[in-house]
Amino acid sequence: FIKKIVYYEETDSTNIRAKKLAEEGAPDGTLVVTDFQNAGRGRRGRMWVSPSGTGIFMSLILRPDILPSSASMLTLVAALAVYDGIKETTGLETVIKWPNDIVAEGKKLCGILTEMSAELEGIHYVVTGIGINANMTGFPEEVGESATSLRILTGGPVRRSRLIAVVMKAYEGYYVKFKSCGSLAGLMDVYNEHMANLGREVKVLDPAGAYTGKALGIDEKGELIVEKADGKVVRVVSGEVSVRGI
């Protein structure tokens, strides 16, 4: 599944690097890994704290034969793989905060950022960036109380190379299932099992107006099904809105 691993001691962002390599023809299954990102990026243009030698910062280049509208599903596939990887290597039980944050004790352990290059008919490549807070012992003030690390939670250091290998192995299994269904149909039950928001009241921050409702789970497209207070059921598309627990 992983055909090539490209390692940098330091880089700007593995997502930026992976996109450049993909443009230059890097094959499907190329994994870009670094020890230190000097310009790590999160969703919505936020920065991603990437101190040297402590975290996992990696980006996977894939060239699946899917429609551009399906690419965001790969972020949910990655969330499942990280859930499994953390569980298998540390025993830690985490939850997935839809669409793709891994959280423990209410604090963020991992973030995922998927980007793609596509035409209407198909995808040139998808880059899924995964940042796991592995061995950080603390976080800068601007991140504050919202983040934690595996080391903080388990009390001991994590072997990052093993965690990367286990996450990628898990990713492969889920990816094969995703490709055979062409959707998350075969994965939505397991995703919903691990989902933090399930059955909970959530606040949907839609640019057209925020509303609250109960999260009923994801569907086969990875959209969040929300029952509004008036009983109406709506589907929330990842990337367009953010969801907060209330």
Cα gap 214→226, rounded to integer Å: 5
Q: Does 135 bind ligand BTN (CB under 6 A)?
A: no
CB 90 within 8 A of CB 158: yes
| Binding-site member from 6, 15, 61, 94 for ligand BTN (CB under 6 A) | 15
Q: Please tell me whether residue 212 adopts helix, strand or coil conformation.
A: strand
Q: Does 43 bind ligand BTN (CB under 6 A)?
A: yes
Name residue, tokens 């004790």: 105
| Count of residues engaged in binding ligand BTN, rule: CB under 6 A | 20
Minimum gap (Å) between residue 59 Cβ and ligand BTN: 5
Q: Where are the beta strands (DSSP E) in the chain?
A: 4-8, 30-34, 56-62, 95-97, 101-104, 107-118, 123-132, 201-205, 211-218, 224-228, 233-236, 242-245
Residues in 105-134 at the binding interface with ligand BTN, rule: CB under 6 A: 111-113, 129-131
Q: Output the residue with the shortest Cβ distance to ligand BTN.
A: 111
Contacts of 47 (CB under 8 A, 6+ apart): 39, 40, 41
Q: Does 99 bind ligand BTN (CB under 6 A)?
A: no
Convert residues 218-237 into a mask of x (bound to ligand BTN by CB under 6 A) and - (unbound).
Answer: --------------------
Q: Does 96 bind ligand BTN (CB under 6 A)?
A: no
E strand or H helix at 86: helix 73-90
Minimum gap (Å) between residue 32 Cβ and ligand BTN: 9
Q: Does 186 bind ligand BTN (CB under 6 A)?
A: no
Residues that bind ligand BTN (CB under 6 A): 13-15, 37, 40-43, 46, 48, 57-59, 101, 111-113, 129-131
